[in-house]
Amino acid sequence: MNGGEVMTATIRNPIIRGCNPDPSILRVGDDYYIATSTFEWMPGIQIHHSRDLANWRLIGHVLTKDTGVDLRGVIDSAGIWAPSLSYHDGLFYIVYTVVRTRVGAFKDVLNYVVTSTGILGPWSEPVFLNASGFDPSLFHDDDGRKWVVNVQWDNRPDRPSFAGIVLQEYDAQARGLIGPIKTILRKECLIEGPNLYKHDGRYYLMLAEGGTGWNHGISMARADSVDGPYECDPATAVLTSRDDAAYPLQKAGHGELVQTQSGAWYLAHLASRPIGQDRRCMLGRETCLQRVVWTDDGWLRLKSGRTAPALQAASVLDECQWDAESTRDDFDAETLGLQWASLRAPVSDDWASLSSRPGWLRLRGRESLHSLFDQSLVARRVEESFAVAETCLEFAPKHFSQSAGLVCWYDTKTHYYLRVTRDEDMGVVIGIAYTDDGQYGELNESRIVADEWDRFYLRAEIEEERLQFFASPDGKTWSRVGPVLDASKLSDDYGAGLHFTGAFIGLCAQDFVGRAAVADFDYFSLKYELAANITRTLRFSHSVTGNSGNLNAVAGAGSFVPGRP
């Protein structure tokens, strides 16, 4: 932490940026923790820490290679949903859902609980709870009893799929659910994400309402008994941004409450920041924080008196900043940093090694970027819509089926890939492969012949919805590769079906003939600029040559001129 004069912290939303949805917030003593969904990415369930509610840092994960979880084969935006974090009698609890089927009439889901005496683990092996629906949370009543609430899913075509909120008791000694299952609330609208609280002798049920998109919000209900009957809040929403399409924070909803040491209340929730003409949320659903108060008649309201989430708020706590994270990873550590994630399975030395060539990350090529099983891909969340990613690669492909490079990723159906590969006629080439809502293509007309290059410096520059790739043999003289691409397609709002994650940038390698071709990466950097003109600040002094290519179907409207004022 940084020293200096003590002052009250300022909360600037989002407090945790990039793909960090479904926040579950908890205070233990003077420490605050937030757990968020990770879907198909491993390690599972990110944990952030704060002491002032304004400054947060990633400190660990719950589901790792040492905790039994298998996501191989789950489709995009399935996997780990909506963890709920709680603490009682010296023990941390997290309940969460593993989603195996999420498209169509059925939801094949498994709900689990894990425990630990410390927030950094080790966490217990998962204990199965139920499979009736998703979004479970655990409530510790003041009489010592514990209760699990979750969504009841109904697959029948003549019934509402979201069939209400069900309640069942949890036996901590037996480590399982006991007793009858009771539906405690149904509403005509879609409700999910239930959380129970007790305030002034009443039980309060917080709900995510209206779906996870533009109509999202948070509502409340209350009862005198934990199993109801529950009366709904006369207000239509405690929090929502559905009433103002131009507001900077959209899709606000799915939240949890926390009370400070001094008795103040805050609401952690998700929201998204749209960009560009099409208002797509490339950064995914992010975590925000609002000050809330209880009214004289016993209902929860935002302190601002509005329902729209505030962009900024005062914390009641003294500021406690963390040391700034490095924007560059030189791969000198024994393990990858906490910010790195892999798809569906933990990183392992057989395909991602930091020891085979010290100071380098060695990826061994495996399956394609469309695979739901064994990809050699590691990536980091994109946290701002002005970003520059860069790497240096040594790679000697022998066949067109061997590739390695820099990938701008949403999921297996939508991504852009700046790769080094081999062409039978041209030799080693640098070019762009892409998948656009499931349709694969290559920009062969914009390839760079790089047969004489010893190293391949690769860069991706994002200015909101505009993405431009570059390549260099020395890290000084850069050439554009391909046209300006539409970065906003890397979002929840593009393509067929529902999506729940956000944009990532990372490194990957493929070898379709099974020879595990070796790709060595010297470093990876990811920098953000909050103002436009990232090119001038980061690369304006370097030489740039053109190699635009053409991709009208993928490129965004307008043109992106590097170095523009």
Phi, psi (degrees; rounded to nearest 5) at 83 = -65, 145
**Cα–Cα distances in angstroms (integers) from residue 376 to residues 323, 469, 516, 556, in the given order:** 31, 21, 10, 29
CB atoms within 10 A of CB 65: 12
- Identify the sign of the CA torsion 484, 508, 457, 326: positive
Distance CA 268, CA 128 (A): 27
Q: Annotated catalytic, 442? A: no
User: Would you say 161 and 155 are in contact if contact means Cβ atoms under 8 Å apart?
Assistant: yes
Structural tokens at position 358: 């010290």
Cα dihedral 349/352/356/362 (nearest 10): 170
Return the beta strands (E) in 100-243 as ranges. Answer: 109-116, 127-130, 137-140, 146-153, 162-171, 176-185, 191-199, 202-209, 217-223, 231-232, 239-240
Following DSSP, what letter does each residue of 93-132 receive, concatenated? EEEEEEES--SSS---EEEEEEEESSTT-PPPPPEEEE-S
Closest by CA to 376, choosing from 353, 360, 355, is: 353
- Identify the sign of the CA torsion 437, 440, 445, 449: positive
Q: Annotated catalytic, 192? A: yes
- Which helix (H) or strand (E) segment holds residue 535: the answer is helix 534-539
User: Would you say 492 and 364 are in contact if contact means Cβ atoms under 8 Å apart?
Assistant: no
8-state DSSP, 280? B
Distance CA 194, CA 59 (A): 26
CB atoms within 10 A of CB 256: 24
CA-only gyration radius of the chain, Å: 24
- Of 52, 76, 192, 411, the catalytic one is 192
Map tokens 């009682």 to a residue. 88
8-state DSSP, 47? E
Distance CA 408, CA 460 (A): 8
Distance CA 311, CA 291 (A): 11
**Cβ neighbours of residue 426 under 8 Å, at least 6 residues apart?**
447, 449, 451
438 SS3 class: coil
Following DSSP, what letter does each residue of 282-348 receive, concatenated? TT-SEEEEEEEEE-TTS-EEETTSSSSPPSEEEEEEE--PPPPPPSEE-S-SSS--TT-EEESS---
Closest by CA to 281, choosing from 249, 310, 308, is: 249
Q: Which residues are catalytic?
A: 22, 192
